[in-house]
Structure 1
């Protein structure tokens, strides 16, 4: 296991002087970034919303549970300056539809592969947050020939890696409420947010549940990342993931939480690009 110290990355660490700590804030969801390279792909039985920016080697960004592609708005300009950025709304999230199949990480990872197939992309790097990071690990386990590197931010590999009562944390509760309004604004089924949450909560109660042996079988380069104030993921679990996946790196970002990409996008973007473009 490699541990990436922030000092060695040359990052300047600052803390706010007034008001709430940075890790307690939930900055606004970025506005959608216009592109003429996007739309809906009919794949794996559903319609999957996607958007593409930039040029270069492909990087797929996968958002967290209840969210949508807009959450990556602070990352797109920085990463698209070096790579082709592909944003995907997970099934039932954002502008994507879903079918009657129960939510599952394997199914959602297969959706990502279906999008890559439709776009004729043989292999891509993955940047994932929360559920999106779990999907990145799932792809490394089941579709290793389709992924290059995986930047896994705020993942868990067993259900016990999640803190009890996270939904009662003020920042996380504000996110859940915000996600409901965004669901109503974007979804083809705008009045079904509570049912959507119930359905995806069934997945969270049972998945993921990967064994040590499964994690040890991963050969994909993975950087396991989290914020030092993550409301949802136990620190010891993040360290366990990095220690168990062969050759994985571990990076703990300072003064941020489960929403680091909103709270400190410059720090988050630097670490993404350092990992993707480093040797």
Structure 2
């Protein structure tokens, strides 16, 4: 799925929030039961990865489906909005190219092609206020449980040159989740899938083989 499902999400007056992506799967045209007929393996690139963890551990409705979430690979995550480095994206040369590509794809596929600027503004506002995980939220995650529904590989991954999220955040998340795996990819930043796809795919293959 694309970031926040922006290709098919209608622009509404309400503010965006990360769990809207999951709400759309349940309440919209895509039925969660259909989507999760088979075990789901989720790769998320910040900060949507926290939405998947919410789906697995926090959100009431999908709790009945969490046994179908087989594994999560969370790359470059944060759990509070102030853990993002202000204006850091402006220092990354190719971010403007990524935004231009998003705009082109949005205009081609979205049911509201003329509203990309509104979508972008709402997404930026959302990132300024979310996610907001608490100690209580992390305490609900029981990967050390004997219950098979809670026992699946959860990897917290970052690059050694992460420039958008404060460098200590990924390790802190891993420390809060028992039995999670903490992995630092060498010589890459927040954009590791673009900078070194071979090494990134090797890490994914290791995760998938767990």
Q: How would you bin the TM-score normalised by the shorter chain?
A: 0.7 to 0.9
Deviation at 1:243, TM superposition (A): 0.9
Name structure 2 gaps, 5 residues minimum. 143-149
d(CA) in 1 for partners of 2:95, 2:135: 29
Q: Mean Cα displacement is larger for which, 157-166 or 178-187? A: 178-187
Matched, 1:204 2:127: yes
Report which of the two has the higher share of strand: 1
User: Secondary structure at 1:252's aligned position in 2?
Assistant: strand
Report matched runs for 1:87-102 at 5 Å: 90-91=4-5, 93-94=6-7, 96-98=8-10, 100=12, 101-102=14-15
On the 8 A contact 1:166/1:231 being kept in 2, the answer is yes
Are 1:263 and 2:185 an aligned pair?
no
2:16 is the counterpart of 1:103: yes
1:159-185 deviations in whole A, cap 9, x for unaligned?
012111123122334323332233223
CA contact (8 A) 1:124 1:146 kept: yes
Offset of residue 112 of structure 1 = 4.5
Deviation, 1:123, is: 3.5
Q: For residue 156 of structure 1, what is the aligned residue in structure 2? A: 78
* TM-score, normalization by structure 2: 0.79
Distance 1:98 1:191, change over 3 A: closer
Quote the Cα distance in structure 1 between the aligned partners of 2:90 and 2:101.
14
Unaligned runs of 5+ in 1: 1-61, 66-89
> Equivalences for 1:111-122 in 2 at 5 Å?
111-112=24-25, 114-119=30-35, 121=37
Partner deviation per Cα, 1:98-145 (whole Å, 9 max, x = no partner): 263532122212345655423451531211111331222222223333
Please state whether the residue corresponding to 1:235 is helix, strand or coil. coil
| 1:153-232 map, 5 Å | 153-169=75-91, 170-219=93-142, 220=150, 221-232=153-164
Is residue 105–residue 138 contact of structure 1 (8 Å, CA) maintained in 2? Answer: no
Contact persistence 2:11–2:119 (CA under 8 A): no
Report the CA distance shift for 1:137/1:118 in structure 2 as closer, same or farther (over 3 A).
same
Which structure shows the higher helix fraction?
A: 2
| RMSD over aligned Cα atoms | 2.2
How far apart in 2 are the matches of 1:103 and 1:122?
29
Q: Does the 8 Å CA contact 1:139/1:147 hold for their aligned counterparts?
A: no
Rate the CA distance shift 1:239–1:222 in 2: closer, same or farther, 3 A: same
Check the 8 A contact 1:224/1:251 in 2, yes or no.
yes
- Of residues 257-266 and 172-181 in structure 1, the stretch that sits farther from structure 2 once superposed is 172-181
